[in-house]
Protein backbone atom coordinates (compact mmCIF):
# COMPACT_ATOMS: atom_id res chain seq x y z
CA UNK A 1 0.00 0.00 0.00
CA UNK A 2 1.55 3.30 -1.06
CA UNK A 3 2.35 5.94 1.50
CA UNK A 4 1.70 9.66 1.32
CA UNK A 5 -1.37 11.74 0.47
CA UNK A 6 -4.42 9.93 -0.88
CA UNK A 7 -7.67 10.98 -2.53
CA UNK A 8 -11.27 10.03 -1.81
CA UNK A 9 -11.32 7.00 -4.10
CA UNK A 10 -8.14 5.66 -2.52
CA UNK A 11 -9.59 6.19 0.96
CA UNK A 12 -12.71 4.23 0.01
CA UNK A 13 -10.60 1.45 -1.48
CA UNK A 14 -8.51 1.23 1.69
CA UNK A 15 -11.62 1.07 3.85
CA UNK A 16 -12.81 -1.91 1.77
CA UNK A 17 -9.47 -3.67 2.22
CA UNK A 18 -8.64 -6.14 4.97
CA UNK A 19 -5.64 -4.15 6.19
CA UNK A 20 -6.46 -2.55 9.57
CA UNK A 21 -3.74 0.10 9.28
CA UNK A 22 -5.05 1.12 5.84
CA UNK A 23 -8.63 1.12 7.13
CA UNK A 24 -7.63 3.20 10.15
CA UNK A 25 -6.12 5.95 8.01
CA UNK A 26 -8.95 5.78 5.48
CA UNK A 27 -11.62 6.25 8.15
CA UNK A 28 -9.70 9.25 9.50
CA UNK A 29 -9.34 10.70 5.99
CA UNK A 30 -13.04 10.41 5.15
CA UNK A 31 -13.99 12.12 8.40
CA UNK A 32 -11.33 14.80 8.16
CA UNK A 33 -12.46 15.70 4.65
CA UNK A 34 -16.18 15.31 5.44
CA UNK A 35 -16.67 13.01 2.47
CA UNK A 36 -19.98 13.21 0.65
CA UNK A 37 -19.38 10.10 -1.44
CA UNK A 38 -22.42 7.78 -1.30
CA UNK A 39 -20.24 4.84 -0.25
CA UNK A 40 -18.60 6.64 2.66
CA UNK A 41 -21.46 6.22 5.14
CA UNK A 42 -22.11 2.49 4.59
CA UNK A 43 -18.39 1.67 4.60
CA UNK A 44 -17.85 3.58 7.84
CA UNK A 45 -20.87 1.90 9.42
CA UNK A 46 -19.35 -1.47 8.52
CA UNK A 47 -16.00 -0.38 9.96
CA UNK A 48 -17.78 0.71 13.16
CA UNK A 49 -18.64 -2.95 13.78
CA UNK A 50 -15.06 -4.15 13.42
CA UNK A 51 -13.60 -5.54 16.64
CA UNK A 52 -9.89 -6.17 17.11
CA UNK A 53 -7.78 -6.53 20.26
CA UNK A 54 -5.09 -4.06 21.19
CA UNK A 55 -1.72 -4.76 19.55
CA UNK A 56 0.97 -3.17 21.77
CA UNK A 57 3.77 -4.28 19.45
CA UNK A 58 2.28 -2.39 16.53
CA UNK A 59 1.14 0.52 18.68
CA UNK A 60 -2.49 -0.15 17.74
CA UNK A 61 -5.24 0.56 20.28
CA UNK A 62 -8.20 -1.71 20.89
CA UNK A 63 -10.85 -1.48 18.15
CA UNK A 64 -8.76 1.22 16.47
CA UNK A 65 -10.62 1.11 13.15
CA UNK A 66 -14.04 1.18 14.84
CA UNK A 67 -13.02 4.15 16.97
CA UNK A 68 -11.84 6.12 13.94
CA UNK A 69 -15.00 5.17 12.06
CA UNK A 70 -17.08 6.47 14.98
CA UNK A 71 -15.19 9.78 14.94
CA UNK A 72 -15.60 10.07 11.17
CA UNK A 73 -19.35 9.44 11.31
CA UNK A 74 -19.78 12.48 13.53
CA UNK A 75 -17.89 14.66 11.08
CA UNK A 76 -19.91 13.45 8.08
CA UNK A 77 -23.02 14.96 9.68
CA UNK A 78 -25.39 12.30 8.33
CA UNK A 79 -28.21 11.45 10.78
CA UNK A 80 -28.39 8.03 9.16
CA UNK A 81 -25.45 7.06 11.35
CA UNK A 82 -27.32 7.63 14.61
CA UNK A 83 -28.93 4.17 15.08
CA UNK A 84 -25.61 2.33 14.64
CA UNK A 85 -23.79 4.81 16.87
CA UNK A 86 -26.43 4.34 19.55
CA UNK A 87 -25.94 0.58 19.37
CA UNK A 88 -22.18 1.05 19.78
CA UNK A 89 -22.78 3.09 22.94
CA UNK A 90 -23.43 -0.26 24.66
CA UNK A 91 -20.04 -1.71 23.71
CA UNK A 92 -17.71 -2.78 26.56
CA UNK A 93 -14.81 -0.78 25.07
CA UNK A 94 -14.96 2.58 26.86
CA UNK A 95 -12.67 4.16 24.25
CA UNK A 96 -15.19 3.30 21.57
CA UNK A 97 -18.03 4.60 23.74
CA UNK A 98 -16.10 7.85 24.13
CA UNK A 99 -15.71 8.29 20.36
CA UNK A 100 -19.36 7.40 19.82
CA UNK A 101 -20.59 9.88 22.44
CA UNK A 102 -18.62 12.72 20.87
CA UNK A 103 -20.05 11.94 17.45
CA UNK A 104 -23.61 11.77 18.76
CA UNK A 105 -22.99 15.23 20.19
CA UNK A 106 -21.65 16.50 16.87
CA UNK A 107 -24.74 15.11 15.16
CA UNK A 108 -27.04 16.83 17.71
CA UNK A 109 -28.78 13.47 18.02
CA UNK A 110 -31.73 14.06 20.35
CA UNK A 111 -32.56 10.36 20.14
CA UNK A 112 -29.31 9.70 22.01
CA UNK A 113 -30.22 11.71 25.12
CA UNK A 114 -31.87 8.85 27.08
CA UNK A 115 -28.89 6.54 26.47
CA UNK A 116 -26.36 9.22 27.39
CA UNK A 117 -28.30 10.02 30.57
CA UNK A 118 -28.46 6.33 31.47
CA UNK A 119 -24.67 6.03 31.17
CA UNK A 120 -24.22 8.89 33.65
CA UNK A 121 -27.15 8.14 35.95
CA UNK A 122 -25.10 6.28 38.57
CA UNK A 123 -23.24 9.53 39.22
CA UNK A 124 -19.64 10.33 40.15
CA UNK A 125 -19.45 7.48 42.67
CA UNK A 126 -20.01 4.80 40.01
CA UNK A 127 -19.89 6.12 36.43
CA UNK A 128 -17.30 8.67 37.50
CA UNK A 129 -15.18 6.33 39.61
CA UNK A 130 -11.64 5.42 38.50
CA UNK A 131 -11.02 1.92 37.16
CA UNK A 132 -8.89 -0.36 39.30
CA UNK A 133 -6.42 -1.06 36.50
CA UNK A 134 -6.36 2.34 34.82
CA UNK A 135 -6.62 6.09 35.45
CA UNK A 136 -9.65 6.08 33.15
CA UNK A 137 -13.11 6.33 34.67
CA UNK A 138 -15.77 3.63 34.53
CA UNK A 139 -17.55 5.70 31.87
CA UNK A 140 -16.11 8.29 29.47
CA UNK A 141 -17.86 10.98 31.51
CA UNK A 142 -16.22 13.97 29.85
CA UNK A 143 -17.44 12.91 26.39
CA UNK A 144 -20.91 11.94 27.65
CA UNK A 145 -21.38 15.29 29.41
CA UNK A 146 -20.14 17.27 26.43
CA UNK A 147 -22.50 15.36 24.14
CA UNK A 148 -25.51 16.30 26.26
CA UNK A 149 -24.48 19.94 26.11
CA UNK A 150 -23.96 19.84 22.35
CA UNK A 151 -27.31 18.19 21.73
CA UNK A 152 -28.93 20.89 23.85
CA UNK A 153 -32.07 19.02 24.77
CA UNK A 154 -32.15 19.74 28.47
CA UNK A 155 -35.12 18.67 30.49
CA UNK A 156 -35.04 18.45 34.27
CA UNK A 157 -33.85 14.84 34.18
CA UNK A 158 -30.82 15.78 32.06
CA UNK A 159 -29.85 18.66 34.32
CA UNK A 160 -30.30 16.50 37.43
CA UNK A 161 -27.91 13.88 36.05
CA UNK A 162 -25.26 16.45 35.08
CA UNK A 163 -25.29 18.47 38.32
CA UNK A 164 -23.40 16.00 40.56
CA UNK A 165 -20.50 15.98 38.10
CA UNK A 166 -19.88 19.69 38.78
CA UNK A 167 -18.48 18.43 42.11
CA UNK A 168 -16.34 15.63 40.67
CA UNK A 169 -12.79 15.26 42.00
CA UNK A 170 -11.30 15.77 38.54
CA UNK A 171 -11.35 19.33 37.21
CA UNK A 172 -11.71 18.17 33.59
CA UNK A 173 -14.98 16.46 34.49
CA UNK A 174 -16.16 19.53 36.40
CA UNK A 175 -15.34 21.65 33.36
CA UNK A 176 -17.31 19.39 31.01
CA UNK A 177 -20.30 19.40 33.36
CA UNK A 178 -20.29 23.19 33.71
CA UNK A 179 -19.98 23.57 29.96
CA UNK A 180 -23.01 21.32 29.41
CA UNK A 181 -25.09 23.19 31.98
CA UNK A 182 -24.07 26.54 30.49
CA UNK A 183 -25.13 25.34 27.05
CA UNK A 184 -28.41 23.98 28.38
CA UNK A 185 -29.37 26.81 30.73
CA UNK A 186 -27.41 29.90 29.70
CA UNK A 187 -26.95 30.65 33.42
CA UNK A 188 -23.91 32.82 34.11
CA UNK A 189 -23.01 30.89 37.26
CA UNK A 190 -21.78 27.97 35.17
CA UNK A 191 -19.62 30.33 33.13
CA UNK A 192 -18.13 31.64 36.38
CA UNK A 193 -17.07 28.10 37.27
CA UNK A 194 -15.31 27.77 33.92
CA UNK A 195 -13.66 31.18 34.32
CA UNK A 196 -12.29 30.01 37.67
CA UNK A 197 -10.78 26.96 35.97
CA UNK A 198 -8.88 29.28 33.61
CA UNK A 199 -6.80 30.13 36.71
CA UNK A 200 -6.06 26.50 37.56
CA UNK A 201 -2.36 25.72 38.13
CA UNK A 202 -2.43 22.81 35.65
CA UNK A 203 -2.10 23.78 31.99
CA UNK A 204 -4.22 20.81 30.91
CA UNK A 205 -7.14 22.13 32.96
CA UNK A 206 -6.76 25.67 31.61
CA UNK A 207 -6.76 24.25 28.08
CA UNK A 208 -9.96 22.31 28.75
CA UNK A 209 -11.71 25.34 30.22
CA UNK A 210 -10.70 27.39 27.17
CA UNK A 211 -12.24 24.82 24.83
CA UNK A 212 -15.38 24.53 26.95
CA UNK A 213 -15.95 28.28 27.05
CA UNK A 214 -15.42 28.44 23.30
CA UNK A 215 -17.87 25.62 22.66
CA UNK A 216 -20.47 27.38 24.82
CA UNK A 217 -20.14 30.64 22.88
CA UNK A 218 -19.99 32.61 26.15
CA UNK A 219 -18.67 35.94 24.83
CA UNK A 220 -18.40 37.64 28.25
CA UNK A 221 -15.37 35.33 28.67
CA UNK A 222 -13.53 37.16 25.88
CA UNK A 223 -11.03 39.07 28.01
CA UNK A 224 -10.43 36.14 30.35
CA UNK A 225 -9.67 33.92 27.37
CA UNK A 226 -7.31 36.53 25.95
CA UNK A 227 -5.15 36.67 29.08
CA UNK A 228 -5.21 32.98 30.02
CA UNK A 229 -1.78 31.41 30.44
CA UNK A 230 -2.03 28.99 27.53
CA UNK A 231 -0.99 28.71 23.90
CA UNK A 232 -2.30 31.37 21.54
CA UNK A 233 -3.31 28.61 19.12
CA UNK A 234 -5.78 27.25 21.68
CA UNK A 235 -7.03 30.72 22.56
CA UNK A 236 -7.77 31.24 18.87
CA UNK A 237 -9.77 28.02 18.73
CA UNK A 238 -11.76 29.13 21.78
CA UNK A 239 -12.35 32.57 20.30
CA UNK A 240 -13.50 31.04 17.04
CA UNK A 241 -16.07 29.20 19.15
CA UNK A 242 -17.27 32.54 20.54
CA UNK A 243 -17.74 33.76 16.97
CA UNK A 244 -19.54 30.63 15.79
CA UNK A 245 -21.71 29.94 18.85
CA UNK A 246 -22.06 33.31 20.57
CA UNK A 247 -24.37 35.31 18.33
CA UNK A 248 -26.84 35.62 21.22
CA UNK A 249 -24.24 37.85 22.95
CA UNK A 250 -23.87 40.24 20.00
CA UNK A 251 -25.42 43.16 21.90
CA UNK A 252 -22.84 42.78 24.71
CA UNK A 253 -19.74 41.85 22.72
CA UNK A 254 -19.80 42.12 18.96
CA UNK A 255 -18.35 39.63 16.52
CA UNK A 256 -16.10 42.43 15.30
CA UNK A 257 -14.61 42.78 18.79
CA UNK A 258 -13.91 39.04 19.04
CA UNK A 259 -12.24 39.10 15.61
CA UNK A 260 -10.15 42.07 16.72
CA UNK A 261 -8.83 40.08 19.69
CA UNK A 262 -8.14 37.12 17.41
CA UNK A 263 -6.12 39.32 15.06
CA UNK A 264 -4.03 40.56 17.98
CA UNK A 265 -3.16 36.97 18.93
CA UNK A 266 -1.98 35.99 15.46
- 84-130: per-residue pLDDT in tens? 999 999 999 999 999 999 999 999 999 999 999 999 999 999 999 99
205 and 167 together in one domain: no
pLDDT tens-digit map of 178-219? 999 999 999 999 999 999 999 999 999 999 999 999 999 999
Sign of CA dihedral 46, 50, 55, 59: positive
Average pLDDT, stretch 2-16?
86
Tell me the average pLDDT of the chain: 94
Sign of CA dihedral 152, 114, 52, 58: positive
38 and 67 together in one domain: yes
Average pLDDT, stretch 29-50?
97
Structural domain span for residue 215: 191-266
Strand-pair partners of 130: 137
- Which pLDDT score, from 0 to 100, does residue 164 have? 98
CATH code, 84 = 1.25.10.10
34 and 73 together in one domain: yes
% of the chain beyond a pLDDT of 70: 95
% of the chain beyond a pLDDT of 90: 88
- Which pLDDT score, from 0 to 100, does residue 53 have? 73
- Which pLDDT score, from 0 to 100, does residue 51 have? 87
78 and 36 together in one domain: yes
User: Based on the structure, what is the number of domains in the chain?
Assistant: 3
Q: Is the pLDDT of residue 137 over 60?
A: yes
Domain boundary among 56, 78, 107: 107
141 and 100 together in one domain: no
* C-alpha closest to that of 188 among 236, 134, 252: 252
14 and 86 together in one domain: yes
pTM exceeding 0.95: no
CATH code, 175 = 1.25.10
Q: How many CB atoms lie within 10 A of CB 141?
A: 26
- CA 118 vs CA 81, 115, 123: distances in Å: 20, 5, 10
Amino acid sequence: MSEGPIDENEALARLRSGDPSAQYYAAWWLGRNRSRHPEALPLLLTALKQRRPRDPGAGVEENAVARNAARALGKLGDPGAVPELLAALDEPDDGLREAVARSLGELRAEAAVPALVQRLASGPAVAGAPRQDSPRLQEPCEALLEALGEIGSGGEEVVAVILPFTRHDRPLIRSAACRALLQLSGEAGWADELLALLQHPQLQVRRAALMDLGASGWRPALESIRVTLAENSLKLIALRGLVEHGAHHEAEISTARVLEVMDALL
